[in-house]
Amino acid sequence: MRILLFFVLLQNFAYAQQITIQNSKNRQITHLNGDWNYIIDPYETGYYSFHLDEYDKKSDFQMGAFFNNYHSANKNNLIEYDFDKSPKMRIPNDWNTQDEKLFYYEGTVWFKKSFDYTLAKHKRLFLNFAAVNYQADVYLNGKKLGTHVGGFTSFCFEISTVIKEKDNYLVVKVDNKRLKDAVPTTNTDWWNYGGLTREVSLMEVADAFIEDYSIQLDKKNNTTIAGYIKVNTPTTGQPISISIPALKKIITDTLGPTGILNFSIHTGMGAIQYWSPKNPKLYEIIIDYNGETIKDRIGFRTIETNAATILLNGAPIFLKGISIHEENATGGRGKTIEDAKRLLSWAKELGCNYVRLAHYPHNENTIRLADELGLLVWEEIPVYWTINFKNPATYHNAENQLNEMIDRDKNRASVIIWSMANETPLSDERTFFIKNLIKYTKSKDSTRLVSAALLTQYSNGVNSINDPLGEDLDLIAFNQYLGWYGGNLEDAETIKWTSKYNKPLIVSEFGGDAKQGLHGDKKERWTEEYQAYLYIQNLKMIDKMPHLAGLSPWILVDFRSPRRLLPGIQDGYNRKGLISNKGIKKKAFWVLNKYYLKK
């Protein structure tokens, strides 16, 4: 007996327009969060189809189809799937911690959401994904909207001509398989959470709307606020205004055919309260155009370097930091404002004025909360370890993720460092790859610092920092693990360090594992006492490093990693956290806290 699979061919392969819309949270939003049906598809069955009516004429499968929300009127047709009878999953969320069968799963899962929507006249509608890990193929009502690659940045498609008032069905194929040529590549040290991991929403906007804007303190004049506003499908001569009520400033102008308004707002000496960790002042910004009002809260500050010193608002600052992975309290992908508050509040309690968000762009909730709390931020893309630096497509992928990260967070005062990479081994191809990313970043945003977490070289008793990337970076950062992956803690005070570059130096990682609650001698690995001793000795060494401008030890909280397999100790967790995955502080937390209080 023939088992016939019935999957409907796509009727239209035309992709919808994919753009980035600034400040998507401050729009007319309809959330599609909640229960979605899902089908696990390790064999990519949903990518093949044939129509039963044509079965006798055509025996081969056809590429490009998908699991559709299909119900046949012909009872003789056999359909071997049913989205509406499939299990449901809460979105946004990762699939690993919602379905026991999917805990270690890497592959394809299809998601489906049905909804009604009435689009007002002279309005346009966009479907927005805050993040999907890793590749998303998106279909609405039988038409493919497009594909997005990259697990941590937002994207949207216009659906104005596809939406119906009743019975819309949205289907998303999500594939989180690790790939050699992807960014990140196959080899990582964090959990590969798959799924619709951040919010999904519908954004309704005017027929001509504010698509993008950049509003920052002028780098050359700290009494001037400057930037641009970009309108999608503008009408020439139509008025647009930007106002800052607290500064009693408003500019009204008319748009030209480009749809871009460049502006400068001169405030006068002493008018602006500059954003800083001690005074995280945010100003309400209001933009009006074509009946649409967009509001944002933006801080104004300068960040630059002078030789080996980091200057915030013209004054030296030491970055007292910690590295953070984006996980929630139960070991799944962090996704809510509560997850962000939990992590950043611990960083504040530790004594931090700075956080390194590793190793990918975190949720926008985290960046906006850092603005509120006065925490400086290092953001990076997952160019991690052994990326395929020889593949032009891999570079394009990395640059696109960098572009989407900068586009989303360019108005956040907290973000002071764009990071290009982490622990990438030296090679000519790697250096060329990352130098191009640096060049691209500086051309796109000249108001922030650019860095990368580098490796060091050891020879004749001296650790040297001479990575060729240092020529192009604004500050030099490196990872080192004295007392864990090499070296003796007793030698910490005599170890010598040199840097080829007269630039600020940040120790972007150091640390060691401890199982919370495991106690013993300070020289006994895996104990809280050993981890505390490691911090004491490393901090003595770090204080003697030339050009030291900050540090971000590894890491705030224990996090899941399939690489960490030691039974009874790691159990699938990297235990370098100063706080356990249960939320209990280890002894080393208080060692670093004491150091920061005195720094």
Residue pLDDT, tens place only, 426-446: 999 999 999 999 999 999 999
Report the pLDDT value the prediction gives residue 77, as an integer from 0 to 100: 62
Query: What sign has the CA pseudo-torsion 400, 259, 219, 273?
Result: negative
- Between strands 476-479 and 449-454, the pairing is parallel
Measured distance CA(7)–CA(47) in Å, rounded: 9
pLDDT band at 461 (very low <50, low <70, confident <90, very high): confident
Q: Which of 6-20, 29-43, 274-288, 486-500 has the lowest mean pLDDT?
A: 6-20
**CB within 8 Å of 28: residues ≥ 6 apart:** 203, 204, 205
Q: Is the pLDDT of residue 65 over 80?
A: no
Pull the structure tokens for residue 270. 């002493």
Give the β-pairing of 224-232 and 260-266: antiparallel
Q: What is the pTM of this model?
A: 0.93
In whole angstroms, give the CA distance from residue 170 to residue 151. Answer: 19
Q: Which residue has the tokens 């064999």?
A: 43
Q: Tell me: the pLDDT tens digits for 246-300?
A: 999 999 999 988 999 999 999 999 999 999 999 999 999 999 999 999 999 999 9
Q: Per-residue pLDDT for 59 more than 80?
A: no
Tell the residue number behind the tokens 């997850």, with chain if given.
Answer: 339
Q: Cα–Cα distance between 482 and 171 in angstroms, integer?
A: 49
pLDDT at 62: 40
Q: How many CB atoms lie within 10 A of CB 514?
A: 27
What does the alpha-carbon distance between residue 435 and residue 450 come to, in Å, rounded to a whole number? 11
Q: What is the C-alpha to C-alpha distance for residues 310 and 221, in angstroms, rounded to an integer?
A: 18
Taking 70 as the threshold, does the pLDDT of residue 325 lie above it? yes
Structure tokens at 4: 């016939």
Query: CB of 461 within 8 A of CB of 496?
Result: yes
Which three-class secondary structure state does DSSP give residue 291? coil
- pLDDT category, 525, cuts 50, 70, 90? very high
How does pLDDT run across 163-215, given as a tens digit for each residue?
A: 999 999 999 999 999 999 999 999 999 999 999 999 999 999 999 999 999 99
CA distance 576 to 478: 17
Structure tokens at 134: 């890793």
Q: Cα–Cα distance between 577 and 346 in angstroms, integer?
A: 12
**Other C-beta atoms lying within 10 Å of the C-beta of residue 508:** 30
Q: Which residues contact 161 (CB under 8 A, 6 or more apart)?
A: none
What is d(CA 431, CA 228) in angstroms, rounded to the nearest whole number? 33
- Pairwise CA distance, residues 328 & 363, whole Å: 12
Q: Which two tokens stand for residue 246?
A: 């607290």
The pLDDT tens digits for 464-516 are 899 999 999 999 999 999 999 999 999 998 999 999 999 999 999 999 999 99
147 has pLDDT over 50: yes
Looking at residues 25-54, what average pLDDT do you find? 80
Compute the mean pLDDT over every residue in the chain, rounded to the nearest whole number.
91
Is residue 160 within 8 Å of residue 233, measured between CB atoms?
no
Q: What is the mean pLDDT of residues 378-383?
A: 98
Q: Considering the chain, what percentage of its residues have pLDDT values greater than 70?
A: 92
Report the alpha-carbon distance of residue 482 to residue 489 in Å, rounded. 7
Q: What pLDDT shows up at residue 48?
A: 62
DSSP-derived pairing of the beta strands 239-244 and 249-254: antiparallel
User: Which of 483, 506, 489, 493 lies closest to 576 in space, CA to CA?
Assistant: 483
Per-residue pLDDT for 150 more than 90? Answer: yes
